[in-house]
């Protein structure tokens, strides 16, 4: 069976062996780690703009490494999300951009945080449990049909609970089972290839923050999948709370190692979320972290590069070399504020304040973080195009400068996670195997 992104030897092997490509890559990376005594951590990119997608693919090509995109339902969904892409659109965009640069390495398309009320629209409109679960099921099936390789099942938020009450781990298990069962029924009905799963959350409200609850979640999930005849859907990734979140950047190796050891008992890998700006990325390798997702940091890089370009434009205006200013930064700022989505990221002490009432540092952070929500708005697109046009007249390639800014962030993670030439290493392992894929084993 041909896949929509079938451009790599690694994917061809996965299809031939009827093994999800994510599992195949993780197993191969681990075999390489055992052989050379140096771990690798799989890097997930949150595709919050076309610029990020382009940069990710060209960085993966430069480092000869697999690329994993982890798209949330806010970004990519049946309604187009804030990128304007449905699941099918997104897969086609990635395929097209990969072809443009002749990237033939493995590409993983994944869903991030697939669960009720994790799409902003559901939370803001106070959808019922039935409607929220039904909406997620439709999005999961759409992702499956589009050719996604990995689905993060994350029913760890419950908007029906009283404020301050934490969802029970038994409820998380049951809803996780229901969603996986729904996807598998759809997959088998459509005769589609096997996919990989990711479960859990790093959020405290998910109820998986302590080790005992974490273990109970895995025990309940293991038992539940077995009872439903779904043993072959056991998740390759389990999300762990490893110290990083929206406002912290210190990875906690001690806690992560404990989670990694527990996950290994079940044949799974721990993945960290909120890896943006992490101060000690090299420690991910030391404890055997299987994966790490990065997102907002790319939006910050894109915003910062565009802000620098507008300052260059201002200098050109002063010199009389630009007649009609783009007004890009003013239009971008207004669009972000008018969207209201910055309110989602307010601290408790800031709730109720107008944007202008926030400190300059907080305003800047919110503009950087929330710029991803408006990149595709018509006014922003038009102003950005004018900015690039003004710069191009002076032989300045604005788009390339933006991509290079994002490239630098990408480089940090490819290097820190020891992914350089990892695609070639995986291919060598697969070529040397004579009896099919080996069971997942772990280096100590």
pLDDT in tens, 306-353: 999 999 999 999 999 988 999 999 999 999 999 999 999 999 899 999
Q: Residue range 248-274: average pLDDT?
A: 92
Whether residue 295 is predicted with pLDDT greater than 90 in this model: the reply is: yes
Q: Is the pLDDT of residue 440 over 60?
A: no
Q: What is the pLDDT of residues 378-388, one digit of tens each?
A: 999 999 999 99
Residue 355 scores a pLDDT above 80: yes
Check whether 137 has a pLDDT greater than 90: yes
| pLDDT tens track for 13-57 | 999 999 999 999 998 888 877 766 688 999 999 999 999 999 999
Q: What is the mean pLDDT of residues 124-141?
A: 97
What band does 144 get if pLDDT is binned at 50, 70 and 90? Answer: very high
- The confidence band for 437, taking pLDDT boundaries of 50, 70 and 90, is very low
- For residue 354, pLDDT over 70 is answered with yes
**What's the mean per-residue pLDDT of the chain?**
92
Residues 390-418: pLDDT tens digits?
A: 999 999 999 999 999 999 999 999 999 99
Looking at the predicted structure, is the pLDDT value of residue 154 above 50? Answer: yes
CA–CA gap between residue 302 and residue 336 (Å, rounded): 15
User: Quick check: 427 pLDDT over 50?
Assistant: yes
Half-sphere exposure of residue 236: CA atoms within 13 angstroms, side-chain side = 24
Distance from C-alpha of 176 to C-alpha of 171, rounded to nearest angstrom: 8
């Amino acid at each position: 069976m041909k896949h929509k992104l079938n451009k790599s030897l690694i994917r061809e092997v996965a299809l031939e062996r009827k093994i999800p490509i994510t599992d195949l890559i993780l197993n191969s990376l681990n075999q390489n780690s055992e052989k050379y005594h140096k771990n690798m951590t799989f890097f997930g990119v949150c595709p919050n703009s076309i610029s990020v997608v382009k940069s990710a693919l060209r960085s993966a090509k430069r480092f000869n490494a697999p690329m994993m995109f982890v798209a949330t339902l806010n970004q990519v969904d049946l309604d187009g999300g804030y990128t304007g892409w449905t699941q099918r659109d997104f897969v086609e965009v990635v395929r097209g951009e990969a072809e443009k640069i002749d990237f033939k390495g493995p590409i993983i398309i994944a869903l991030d945080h697939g669960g009720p009320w994790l799409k902003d629209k559901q939370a803001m409109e106070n959808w019922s449990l039935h409607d929220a679960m039904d909406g997620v099921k439709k999005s999961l099936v759409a992702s499956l049909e589009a050719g996604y390789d990995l689905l993060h099942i994350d029913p760890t938020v419950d908007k029906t609970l009283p404020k301050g009450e934490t969802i029970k781990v038994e409820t998380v298990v049951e809803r996780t089972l229901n969603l996986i069962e729904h996807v598998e029924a759809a997959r088998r009905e459509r005769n589609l290839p096997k996919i990989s799963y990711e479960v859990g959350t790093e959020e405290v409200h998910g109820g998986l923050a302590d080790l005992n609850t974490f273990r109970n979640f895995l025990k309940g999930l293991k038992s539940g999948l077995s009872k439903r005849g779904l043993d072959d859907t056991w998740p390759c990734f389990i999300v762990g709370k490893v110290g990083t979140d929206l406002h912290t950047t210190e990875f906690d190796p001690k806690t992560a190692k404990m989670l990694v050891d527990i996950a290994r008992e079940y044949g799974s890998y721990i993945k960290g979320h909120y890896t943006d700006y992490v101060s000690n990325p090299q420690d991910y390798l030391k404890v055997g972290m299987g994966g790490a997702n990065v997102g907002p940091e790319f939006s910050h890089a894109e915003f910062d590069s565009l802000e620098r370009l507008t300052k260059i434009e201002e200098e050109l205006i002063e010199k009389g070399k630009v007649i009609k200013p783009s007004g890009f930064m003013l239009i971008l700022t207004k669009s972000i504020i008018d969207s209201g989505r910055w309110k989602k990221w307010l601290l408790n002490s800031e709730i109720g304040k107008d944007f202008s009432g926030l400190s300059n540092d907080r305003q800047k952070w919110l503009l950087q973080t929330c710029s991803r929500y408006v990149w595709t708005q018509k006014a922003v697109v038009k102003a950005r195009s004018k900015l690039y046009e003004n710069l191009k007249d002076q032989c300045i390639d604005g788009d390339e400068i933006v991509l290079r800014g994002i490239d630098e962030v990408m480089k940090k993670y490819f290097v820190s996670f020891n992914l350089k030439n990892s695609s070639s290493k995986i291919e060598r392992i697969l070529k040397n195997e004579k009896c099919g894929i080996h069971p997942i084993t772990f280096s100590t």
